[in-house]
């Protein structure tokens, strides 16, 4: 009997310490609402690898890294990446370890439709995503599926890609295949990721695939076709699948938060115009009552086009029928946000930008607050209140839609002691809590990203992962960073504790030891009893 009591007390002691600590550390800390979810995010080309396996066709990124490998900063590519095509179960194990309830991932269009069209559906591609979805559900993790995260089949790219109006039908056909094959289990769909970034870098500056440089013409045409393609997919889901599958479908937009650099009327108007061009261009057609671009944007681009001697605006507004078809075609507002900026407008910005271009149409300058912490590897400044202000802006501008933060993160170089990323997450999640207090209907947060991934033209020179990937190891070993331990604790406690400071060197071994002792204790109890 003494041994039974000893073992019982031992089990209680080893399993209750963390809850006592939790009660102490959460005093005076705000708690996320019960219906708020935590997750992480990735995209197919950035982590899957297996670029020419399993019946997959070529994407325009497969084409770029073969025809212009020097364009990638460190000369890498996504051919193998984190090899999640073969190691997806390892990724699910990481999600389970973090304790998140949502995983946002994307489906590679050329892995499902190697030639871009639905006349041939690749069974191996369908099987891969079925396996991933089923593995997530078996571990109580909800799949949030992005239909398109910049992986256009190369043969569709050669037929005009996002610069041809036909792509709305191509995209609708592709989306229908996904709904039919996965919609019985996938209840959250994101049509297209970050149309502004995709069009700006792919068809404006030419820094992303397909490397078309047309900043004041192709950029706007790409965005217009993306809105039409999104609406097409939404209506297909709404008419053909929603009643039987019961899911929701929306879009993910990206936005920096712009604030006036001074109290001058020009700076105030400049910041408002910045938000109109960068966010409103894509949000207004879907979330406003007009179904069209913001009138302020229509007027500014038309004025600039006239200055350039053109007979019509480079921005083609939606027709009355198209606008009507756009309205209300997003069940939620997916938001990707990384950084903020101050905006000014004065004579110093007149004529300095390439014309035609969005920047020339907008005519503003930007600068960061010198007190904001900047990561040393990329473009992100840390200012958590910027996210709060952006969320309030969306609430006030678009009638307080349901918002899911589908990406938010901070890049570092290699290494696992990423305390600056952990501080970024803390600061931005506190901004989310502030926004919730402000009445914003924000319901979830996905950290970008689960694992180190191929960061497009930056290659692996910047790392956003909660888990480090050993690129030199054929097994692509995944190791937690300091930020993973901090995020795990935020998920577990549903609070943001600034004093929580895990030991990166010992945390995993402590977890293993505790688990081993508990299992051993239970085994001994079974033997004794």
- Would you name the residues annotated as active-site residues? 194, 407
Angle at 80 between CA 43 and CA 59, to 5 degrees: 60
Query: What span, in angstroms and rounded, lies between the C-alpha atoms of 169 and 364?
Result: 36
- Residue given tokens 């995993």 in the structure block: 508
Distance CA 340, CA 220 (A): 23
Quickly count: other Cβ atoms within 10 Å of residue 528's Cβ: 11
Task: Report the residue count for the chain.
Answer: 529
The Cα 205–Cα 399 span in angstroms is 33
207, 213, 217, 221: CA torsion to nearest 10: -50
Task: Tell me the three-class secondary structure of 225-289, residue by residue.
Answer: HHHHHHHHHHHHHHHHCHHHHCCEEEEEEECCEEEECCCCHHHHHHHHHHHHHHHHHHHHHHHCC
- DSSP 3-state assignment of 198? helix
Tokens of 11: 């089990």
Spatial separation of the C-alpha atoms in residues 257 and 384, rounded to whole Å: 10
Distance separating alpha carbons of residues 432 and 395, to the nearest angstrom: 13
Q: Which residues pair with 398 in a beta bridge?
A: none
In contact, 224 and 284? CB cutoff 8 Å: no
CA–CA gap between residue 450 and residue 468 (Å, rounded): 9
Q: Could you give the CA distance from residue 60 to residue 307 in angstroms, rounded to a whole number?
A: 35
Whether the Cβ atoms of residue 138 and residue 148 lie closer than 8 Å to each other: no
Taking the C-alpha atoms of residue 39 and residue 409, their distance in angstroms, rounded to an integer, is 12
Note whether 46 and 76 are within 8 A (CB).
Answer: no
Rounded to whole angstroms, the Cα distance separating 317 from 309 reads 19
The enclosing H or E element of 468 equals strand 467-469
Rounded Cα gap, residues 274 and 452, in angstroms: 31
Strand, coil or helix: 377 = coil
Question: Alpha-carbon distance 112 to 110, whole Å?
Answer: 5
Q: What is the distance between the alpha carbons of residues 190 and 179, in angstroms, rounded to a whole number?
A: 12
Q: Closest Cα to residue 333, out of 230, 235, 412?
A: 230
Q: What is the DSSP letter of 278?
A: I
Full strand arrangement of the beta sheet holding 340-344: 257-260, 340-344, 365-367
Question: 98: Cβ–Cβ under 8 A, 6 or more apart, which residues?
Answer: 40, 466, 484, 487, 488, 491
Q: Are 290 and 284 in contact (CB under 8 A)?
A: yes
């Amino acid at each position: 009997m003494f041994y039974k009591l000893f073992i019982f007390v031992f089990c209680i002691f080893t399993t209750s310490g963390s809850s006592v600590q939790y009660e102490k550390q959460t005093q005076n800390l705000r708690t996320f609402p019960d219906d708020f979810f935590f997750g992480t995010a990735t995209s197919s080309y950035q982590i899957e690898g297996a670029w020419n396996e399993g019946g997959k066709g070529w994407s325009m990124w497969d084409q770029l890294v073969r025809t212009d490998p020097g364009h990638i900063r460190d000369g890498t590519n996504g051919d193998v990446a984190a090899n999640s095509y073969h190691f997806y179960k390892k990724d699910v194990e990481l999600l389970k370890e973090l304790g998140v309830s949502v995983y946002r991932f994307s489906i590679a269009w050329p892995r499902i439709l190697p030639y871009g069209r639905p006349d041939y559906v690749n069974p191996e591609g369908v099987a891969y995503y079925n396996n991933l979805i089923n593995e997530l559900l078996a571990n109580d993790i909800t799949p949030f599926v992005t239909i398109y995260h910049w992986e256009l089949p190369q043969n569709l790219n050669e037929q005009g890609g996002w610069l041809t109006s036909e792509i709305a039908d191509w995209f609708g056909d592709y989306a229908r295949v996904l709904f039919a094959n996965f919609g019985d289990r996938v209840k959250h769909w994101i049509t297209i990721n970050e149309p502004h970034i995709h069009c700006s870098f792919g068809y404006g500056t030419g820094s992303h695939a397909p490397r078309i440089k047309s900043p004041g013409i192709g950029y706007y045409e790409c965005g217009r076709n993306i809105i039409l393609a999104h609406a097409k997919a939404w209506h297909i889901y709404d008419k053909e699948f929603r009643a039987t599958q019961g899911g929701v479908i929306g879009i993910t937009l990206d936005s920096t938060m712009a604030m006036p650099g001074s109290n001058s009327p020009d700076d105030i108007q400049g910041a408002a115009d910045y938000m109109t061009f960068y966010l409103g261009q894509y949000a207004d057609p879907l979330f406003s009552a007009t179904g069209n671009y913001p009138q302020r944007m229509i007027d500014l681009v038309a004025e600039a086009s006239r200055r350039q001697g053109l007979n019509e605006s480079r921005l083609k507004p939606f027709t009355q029928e198209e606008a009507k078809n756009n309205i209300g075609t997003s069940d939620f507002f997916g938001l990707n946000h990384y950084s903020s900026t101050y905006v000014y407008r004065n004579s110093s910005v007149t004529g300095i930008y390439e014309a035609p271009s969005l920047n020339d149409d907008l005519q503003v300058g930007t600068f960061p607050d010198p007190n904001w912490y900047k990561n040393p590897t990329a473009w992100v400044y840390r200012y958590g209140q910027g996210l709060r202000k952006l969320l309030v802006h969306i609430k006030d501008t678009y009638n307080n839609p349901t918002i899911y933060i589908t990406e938010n993160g901070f890049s570092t170089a290699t290494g696992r002691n990423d305390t600056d990323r952990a501080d970024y997450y803390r600061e931005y999640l506190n901004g989310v809590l502030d926004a919730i207090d402000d009445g914003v209907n924000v319901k979830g947060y996905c950290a970008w990203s689960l694992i180190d991934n191929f960061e497009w033209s930056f290659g692996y020179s910047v790392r956003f992962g909660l888990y480090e990937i050993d690129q030199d190891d054929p097994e692509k070993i995944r190791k937690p960073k300091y930020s993973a331990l901090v995020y795990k604790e935020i998920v577990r406690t549903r609070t943001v504790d600034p004093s929580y400071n895990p030991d990166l060197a010992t945390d995993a071994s402590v977890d293993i030891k505790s688990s081993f002792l508990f299992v051993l204790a239970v085994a001994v109890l079974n033997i004794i009893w």
